[in-house]
Copies of this chain bind each other. A is one copy, B any other.
Amino acid sequence: MAAPVGLPPPVGDRAAGGEGPPATQLRPGLRREAYLDEGVFRHELVSVFARSWCCAARSAHLAAPGSQLVAAVAGESVLVVRQADGGLRAFRNLCRHRGARLCLEPSPQPARVIRCPYHAWTYGLDGRLLAAPNARELPPLETLDRGLLDVEVEEWAGYAWVRLEAGTTSLAEEIEPQLLDRFGDPATFDRYGIERLAVGHEITYDVAANWKSIVENFMECYHCAPLHPELTAAIPEFRSGYGSVSGGVGRGARLGPDVEAFSASHRASRPRLRTLNDTDDRLFYGVILLPNVLAVLVPDHVAFFRIEPLGPGRSKVRVEWLFEPEAVADPAFDPSEAVSLLDTTNLQDFSACERCQLGAASTAFDPVLVPAEHVMETFHGWVATRCSPGPAPGPY
């Protein structure tokens, strides 16, 4: 039986403290409709994803004006374009003439214009309609009001963050409270300098589970001992059932005594990220930036997860492993030990999420949360708030 007697629940555990219920109580999880129902899923796309700043794609490598990204956000295709002034603009990936998708995948070369391949309607990098065939049969193009449809975009941490439905809060206003809640300060996260790191590896996972299951899984370490022997060998304190996310404000988990690095071999292959300080050394931080980002911060790299919800029971998770640019540029660069440990853990996690998705198909599905999982309730409340008031019945 895996019921290790680990560390006591840390001081500061949110769910355990304050006016809340006693920690020993079981609390209800979400109803099965939250994971199964097509209508609930559509409602979440509109109410959670379209109204939130979603991480769309890594943009740091888009240097030249006219470089482009194509990303799926809240079920819509978005085109992100580097401007001449170094900023980003984002547009619906939709020609304003007949509605063709402009870009199926970004061209490897920076473009000077955005041209629809169907009828050659041509837009500037700023989205203005510049030219169309048979233009003399048309009203003056500048009066047509058929420029590309703007989408809000901000660039942060080397990523393009997009909000489909214009809102009043800035990206910083959404991110900073989450970082404060997690670290107690914004400086810890900033020290990893994610914006200047280089992608050394990437894996896309096709997961037969609802996006919320993937977030929930990242929120608790109660599963770490039974599910993750490799992970808990590297970070023994995870056997306590409390991880770095569920462990309280500022909590980082410590590598085991003989573990040099967060890698399959426990050996270090590279120095720590050069902007870190001694405080960060030997620590593992999990971070969640709702609605669609998970990140793992360890001394010598960062793994950055983007979740793309595809349906009630299907999600895509893209993970990018980020290293010092010099390390990646080195011909001898080999990230396999670092990648392998997290990849093994991810596959275990996503398989568990898929088991819960199968369970949600049962009419008897009726999950409960133990104290080590109470942090999930905050997430459920966050989703419920974004979704309400709304037309769909709330399963949260």
Contacts and interface: CB of A to CB of B under 8 A. Distances in A.
Interface of A: 1-4, 9, 23-26, 29, 32, 75-77, 92-101, 104, 115, 117-120, 122, 130-135, 137-139, 144, 146, 149, 222-223, 225-227, 241, 352, 355-356, 358-373
Contacts of A364: 76, 92, 94, 149
A131 B3 contact: yes
B356 A100 contact: yes
Nearest to A50: B363
A138 B29 contact: no
Contacts of A96: 366, 368
A226 B132 contact: no
A25 B371 contact: no
B99 A365 contact: yes
Given A29-B98, A100-B352, A134 B371 contact: yes
Contacts of A371: 134, 137-138
11 contacts: A3-B131, A9-B137, A26-B144, A29-B98, A77-B362, A96-B368, A97-B370, A99-B360, A118-B352, A133-B241, A134-B371
A159 B372 CA distance: 42
A223 B139 contact: no
Nearest to A135: B3
Contacts of A117: 226-227, 352, 355
A217 to B, nearest CB: 9
A352 B370 CA distance: 53
Nearest to A3: B133
A49 B132 CA distance: 35
Main secondary structure of the interface of A (DSSP, over half): loop
Contacts of A362: 76-77, 92-94, 99
A359 B95 contact: yes
A184 B118 CA distance: 30
B100 A355 contact: yes
Contacts of A134: 3, 222, 241, 370-372
Contacts of A92: 362, 364
Contacts of A119: 222-223, 226-227, 370
A293 to B, nearest CB: 23
Nearest to A358: B101
Nearest to A371: B137
Given A24-B138, A366-B99, A368-B98, A133 B359 contact: no
B359 A97 contact: no
A202 B111 CA distance: 39
A278 B152 CA distance: 61
5 closest Cβ pairs, A-B complex = A120-B226, A99-B359, A100-B355, A101-B358, A3-B133
A132 B225 CA distance: 12
Contacts of A360: 99
- A104, A122, A356 pick with most chain B CB within 10 angstroms: A356
